[in-house]
Structure 1
Amino acid sequence: MRAIVWRELLKFSRQSGRLVSALVRPLLWLAVFAAGFRNVFGVAIVEPYDSYIPYDVYIAPGLVGMVLLFNGMQSSLAMVYDREMGLMRLLLTAPLPRPWILLSKLMATAVLSLAQAAAFVIVAALLGTELPVLEHLLPVLVAAVCGALMLGALGLLLSVHIKQLENFAGTMNFVIFPMYFMSTALYPLWKLEESGANWVYQIARFNPFTHAVEWMRFALYGKDPGLSPWIVLGTLALCFLVASWGYDPQRGFGALTKRG
């Protein structure tokens, strides 16, 4: 595990544009989208907030979730590449438990996700969007780690079914964007219900990404996140178990190899 995590960190350090590209998207939303809607879209006094807040403060946890989500999905692309011609091709033939190899890759993905999320929070603070991270550092860190692991496990699960790198565009359209936009990352649930978009409201309620964002949002203010931690942890366990099953030599990569 240490070797795989260290390898991913070294590879990331050599790709100087990767951090920039990971931060451009959420910072663009924060600097442009939030600024344009600051005086149009108000956030009422609802949990976990004790007073009215500007829109950029509201969407900041959702943008942290965006960083975790896109890195988790990018890890599935890297898994497909490594499985076909990189390190994973060797590791999957090694006499090691398959779940341990996948867990090591998952930990590497989570470490990179958290590093990028921390960089985003720092830059956001420099732009004037300050979050009470240091006041509740431990619960925020726990929520962010579990969210990163859940989204990384989802990336592992997707990599079982993505056989070619060209299919990643479909993943963007049918997984990443619906998961992000049908959540509370950009607007609270009561706004969806109030607007009459009932089907979007119901999807957002059961969207695991919603609960990852809400867990981080409530942790920032030291409030009880309700069932969100259990949903995030349950989704993490389910995705990882199904991915491990998919990578079984008799079903996933191994069966694919046997079929030629």
Structure 2
Amino acid sequence: MLPFDPRAARIALVAIVTREALRFVHQRERFLAALVRPLVWLVVFAAGFRAALGLSIIPPYQTYITYETYIVPGLCGMILLFNGMQSSLSLVYDRETGAMRLLLTSPLPRWWLLTCKILASTLISMLQALVFLAIAAAFGVRVSWTGYIAVLPALLVAGLMLGGLGLALSSLIKQLENFAGVMNFVIFPMFFLSSALYPLWKMAESSQVLYAICASNPFTYAVELIRFALYGQFNPLALAVTIGTAVAFMGLALRGYDPARGLIRRKG
């Protein structure tokens, strides 16, 4: 194994981030689509659920809140989740065109190259989430400036976890046509069976089984990490679970892209 060259690693990081940024700039509909989904929930669905779903005072909130206020952190998580899956789709495309194979033949360590891909995707997700928070503020859902600053590391950690999930899934998806199945059996259950749209105590009132599923969903902890950060509070459990899950997903991705056992070898 070649020694790790910090200078070459920085060049690779800048190159991969720049490539992903240029791809994002040239796909403006991707940016709009990432904002349309959460805005539909914020503007349309929240209006209907506001009266039906009462919310008690729960941390990190100090008073009663509107439903719109509650779901904003979850909708930020939605942006990170769907963008992580979008990066998964682009990785499958890169593998089919040979771009991924060319990247992984670099003399740099495989773990660093894959980390660069995840980081590039996460930075784009963070930008989309920040734009959404600005739009949400225009609709009356505002937090303090310290909250907007504190949420940045929370978005980064959550984005790395979901980017790692997308990377791990991309190592399992053989064809672009199979991505629809991932949407139905991974993304939507992960989003709806979480605290993104309703607090866990509400779920416990209806079903203890669903509550247990939501409480074991790592996406729940990513959402709670963002929620607490927006209000200047620290949730150590959410941070620990999110980081631990990110490491686990990254380990699965490294295994999947290992030429000795993953898709790279089987497709070769």
Smaller-chain TM-score range? over 0.9
TM-score w.r.t. structure 2 length?
A: 0.92
2:175 — aligned with what?
164
Q: Secondary structure at the match of 2:223?
A: helix
Alignment of 1:1-260 (within 5 A): 1-132=13-144, 134-195=145-206, 197-258=207-268
Which stretch of the first structure deviates more once superposed, 215-224 or 184-193?
215-224
Which stretch of the first structure deviates more once superposed, 81-90 or 156-165?
81-90
In structure 2, C-alpha distance between the alignment counterparts of 1:11 and 1:227, rounded to whole Å = 35
Q: How many equivalent residue pairs?
A: 256
Structure 1: gaps spanning 5 or more residues: none
Deviations along 1:62-108, one digit per CA (max 9) or x if unpaired, are 00000000000111111000011053131122332111110110111
Cα RMSD for the two superposed structures:
1.2
Q: Secondary structure at the match of 2:74?
A: helix
TM-score w.r.t. structure 1 length?
A: 0.95
Tell me which amino acid in the other structure corresponds to 1:44: S
In structure 2, C-alpha distance between the alignment counterparts of 1:122 and 1:203, rounded to whole Å = 32
Deviations along 1:141-193, one digit per CA (max 9) or x if unpaired, are 11110000000000000011000001100000110000000000000011011
Structure 2: gaps spanning 5 or more residues: 1-12
In structure 2, C-alpha distance between the alignment counterparts of 1:74 and 1:16, rounded to whole Å = 14
Q: CA deviation at 1:41?
A: 1.2
In structure 2, C-alpha distance between the alignment counterparts of 1:131 and 1:70, rounded to whole Å = 24
Cα distance change, pair 159–32 in 1 and its aligned pair in 2 (3 A): same
Deviations along 1:89-136, one digit per CA (max 9) or x if unpaired, are 31122332111110110111101110111111111112222233x223
2:118–2:164 CA contact under 8 A, matched in 1: yes
1:75–1:152 CA contact under 8 A, matched in 2: yes
2:8 — aligned with what?
none
Tell me which amino acid in the other structure corresponds to 2:200: L
Percent sequence identity over aligned pairs: 55
2:3 — aligned with what?
none
In structure 2, C-alpha distance between the alignment counterparts of 1:138 and 1:21, rounded to whole Å = 25
Q: CA deviation at 1:46?
A: 1.1
Tell me which amino acid in the other structure corresponds to 1:120: F
1:57–1:131 CA contact under 8 A, matched in 2: no
Tell me which amino acid in the other structure corresponds to 2:122: A
